[in-house]
Chains A and B, each alone.
Chain A
């Protein structure tokens, strides 16, 4: 019989479908695991309300963990919860490092909600580490990212919005 912590370790094997260098636990999408005699219950929360990856994430969790739950004679459910609202503060430092190595400028450390209040944060280019960067668009390739350009190396890049 696996404990909730064991299930959490297994969930760390499930990658985020849009940002495969991070798993769904590091992303802060998995909010909890309960294991009872008859069921394993996983709670997930969306980064953005309309994030189309949520269905894919729930499916991935079911297909990767479902057979193991079945071995123990348990059902596996994945529930969507909205509270507390997801925040980039839940990304660990190691997750932020992985993002940067992957080419996505990570969100700042943030009680700093400048992105919401209008001021542009200083965003470091994930390639050349230059700090002369410009916001191209508040909206990038997915709901959770904005689009930037590096004025030093001239490369475009994604920045994980800070919310």
Chain B
């Protein structure tokens, strides 16, 4: 197993799947500004995905580039966290998913900024600026919706309760991450739990929302065990390049 390739796929697939999901909001945002915001964030995620997957392709040395990795892998070959493939749902669901992820991404990119691998550190330092900005946006919405009307509070609390069990993959350590840590180019996912927890707890408190008690967490995304939602997403994302493999604009 090529641990560096696997590790980079995880980084790239999280960003790719989340970016694709946000892209579905194009033309469907609750207000024009949020339509633009969600798709702008999606664009940043796709940009990060391109950088990670390009690097993954170079690491693998079999000639697969970013497009090949994005469009010609099947569901079981994707390594994204289950959280990223949760359905868009309503605006509050999307914002909660984004907030839980952004809080993680800020800690992740800070950790990877000191990677001994200069290529990984470069992408992480660039991404860190973007993830901080994303967190500012998603956190503000958590507070606004939690501290809003009775209805907004009820809905966003339900989103938090629904999504919290899916964060497990983000903090899951295994042989790949252990090699990443011992070789000095990756971060230990388990070490990100604490900073993530404090960001989340602080925002939920400000929003007047309850932090659901610790419970069982779903994992499996890092091993390619996904929910059916991902297959629908991949079908739409991949149909064009698979139907016309050499198509160009």
Contacts and interface: CB of A to CB of B under 8 A. Distances in A.
Q: Is the interface of A mostly helix, strand, loop or mixed?
A: loop
Interface string A104-125: 0000000000011110000000
Interface string A143-162: 10001000000000000010
Q: Is the interface of B mostly helix, strand, loop or mixed?
A: helix
Contacts of B136: 115-118, 138
Q: Most chain-A Cβ atoms within 10 A of its Cβ — which of B40, B43, B48, B130? A: B40
Contacts of B112: none
A46 interface: yes
Nearest to A145: B40
A69 to B, nearest CB: 25
Is the interface on chain B under 10, 10 to 19, 20 to 34, or 35 or more residues? 20 to 34
Nearest to A52: B43
Interface in A84-114: 84-86
B182 to A, nearest CB: 24
B37 A82 contact: no
Contacts, number: 80
A136 interface: yes
Given A82-B123, A83-B121, A118-B136, A143 B51 contact: no
28 contacts: A46-B126, A48-B43, A48-B47, A48-B130, A49-B127, A50-B19, A50-B43, A50-B50, A51-B43, A81-B122, A82-B122, A82-B126, A83-B122, A83-B125, A83-B126, A84-B125, A115-B133, A117-B132, A118-B136, A136-B33, A138-B133, A138-B136, A138-B137, A139-B40, A140-B36, A143-B40, A143-B43, A147-B33
Interface of A: 46, 48-52, 81-86, 115-118, 136-141, 143, 147, 161, 163
Interface of B: 19, 33-34, 36-37, 40-48, 50-51, 118-119, 121-123, 125-130, 132-133, 136-137
